[in-house]
Amino acid sequence: MRPAIWAETVKLNASTVGRVGFVAIVVGVGILSGAMLLAASSGDAQLLAKLGPAATGDWSGFLLAAAQITSAGGLLGFGVVLSWMFGREFGDGTITGLFALPVRRSTIALAKLIVYAGWAVAASLALAGMLLVVGLVAGLGPVMLQDWAALGRQVLLGVMTAAIAVPVAWASTLGRSVLAGVSIAISLVVVAQISVLAGVGGWMPLASPALWAISAGAAATPLQLLLVVPYVGVFVLLTAAAWRACQLDR
């Protein structure tokens, strides 16, 4: 497992997709959150109405906006990187070389997911740091205890958002392409939004992390959040099984 993890780490760190994805998630969400903060300070009544609870112009509103952006944009960003990690092996033809390695293909798939998890945690921590810097530069004042709690939820939201994107790995394997994974990533965002509108978001693993973070824990119970674990576990097993059963002739 160690050699596989090392190899996948090198590939991700050396890839343009990995670097651009990291910057897009960290800087992109930071800039968009800052833009919403500026909009909240504009005084435009119509704009403030559209922003809703995020229009307070303080740490609370700023971090609420960041959580909203992370829940949708972050899911797509994590999904694109995960799709590349699995789909590129088929698109670039490197999958043939993996058959010659003295390592089980299911082990390689798990190594990819482990490296992805580490990358996602690093991105989530970096995003929280970016938001802290943006808020301080914007003059939001001292960070109070509740604001630190919101930043902590932001980190956990980022990690959970990356976790619920795991079906993308399975889809990229079955579809043997990056595009198949990206399509599923977009579908996950749509399903999450629909489940919230339908009123079942708390019981939908795709939506419960965002509801939990945005509502400071009021809109999703610990039990509902725990459903993320079996959801991710199922797709990890499906991905590993798909790689184990993978053949070159189809």
Considering the domain boundaries, does residue 91 fall inside one? yes
CA distances from residue 150 to 58, 67, 156, 181 in whole angstroms, order as listed: 12, 9, 10, 31
Long-range contacts of 40-47 (CB under 8 A, 24+ apart): 40/65
Tell me the percentage of the chain whose pLDDT exceeds 70: 88
pLDDT: is 62 or 48 the higher one? 62
CA distances from residue 156 to 89, 210, 216 in whole angstroms, order as listed: 30, 10, 12
* pLDDT tens readout for residues 143-167: 888 889 989 999 999 999 999 999 9
Considering the domain boundaries, does residue 179 fall inside one? yes
What pLDDT does 238 receive?
A: 94
* Closest CA relative to residue 98, chosen from 174, 168, 7, 180: 7
* pLDDT tens readout for residues 76-131: 999 999 999 998 888 777 777 766 677 788 888 899 999 999 999 999 999 999 99
Write down the mean pLDDT value for the chain. 84
- Confidence tier at 43 by pLDDT (50, 70, 90): low
pLDDT: is 2 or 109 the higher one? 109
What pLDDT does 175 receive?
A: 86
Q: Are 220 and 212 in contact (CB under 8 A)?
A: yes
* Closest CA relative to residue 235, chosen from 171, 161, 156: 171
Considering the domain boundaries, does residue 172 fall inside one? yes
* pLDDT tens readout for residues 51-70: 555 556 678 888 888 888 89
Distance CA 145, CA 39 (A): 25
Considering the domain boundaries, does residue 52 fall inside one? yes
Considering the domain boundaries, does residue 190 fall inside one? yes
Give the domain range for residue 100: 2-244
Considering the domain boundaries, does residue 170 fall inside one? yes
User: What domain count does the chain have?
Assistant: 1
Instruction: State the residue for tokens 């921590």.
Output: 125
Considering the domain boundaries, does residue 11 fall inside one? yes
Considering the domain boundaries, does residue 249 fall inside one? no
Looking at residues 190-202, what average pLDDT do you find? Answer: 82
